[in-house]
């Protein structure tokens, strides 16, 4: 038996969103290889940083990200523009900036 529409919409309104997936628009990503796996770092168009550590392959592609991989860090617009100006293959400079934002490599 189907519930009345008003009851369903009331239930939906009171049900917390338990989805862990959240769509993001990735504008920068890189893979940092090391002996025990790889660290995958993604940054979305708003400057939010996502990271997966010690992975053989990432859990998600750069089309979306799980809330669990959000680091809680965000670049300011100025910091983000400066980061994007780094050479893409300059991993030392990238790691230095990302480390200042709390990303740990090779955990």
* 52-73 pLDDT tens trace: 877 666 666 555 556 667 777 8
- The kind and range of the H/E element at 73 are strand 70-74
* Segment-wise mean pLDDT, segments of 10 residues, the chain, 107 residues: 40 38 78 84 89 71 61 91 94 95 84
Nearest to 95 by CA among 53, 32, 42: 32
The answer to pTM > 0.75 is no
Q: What residues does 30 pair with on adjacent strands?
A: 41
């Amino acid at each position: 038996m189907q519930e009345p529409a008003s009851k369903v919409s009331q239930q939906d309104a009171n049900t917390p969103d338990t989805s862990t997936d959240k769509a993001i628009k990735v504008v920068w990503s890189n893979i940092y290889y090391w002996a025990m796996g790889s660290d995958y770092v993604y940054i979305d168009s708003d400057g939010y940083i996502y990271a997966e550590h010690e992975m053989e392959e990432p859990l998600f592609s750069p089309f979306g990200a799980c809330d669990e991989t959000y680091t809680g860090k965000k670049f300011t617009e100025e910091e983000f523009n400066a980061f994007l100006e780094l050479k893409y293959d300059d991993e030392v400079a990238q790691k230095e900036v990302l480390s200042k934002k709390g990303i740990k490599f090779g955990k």
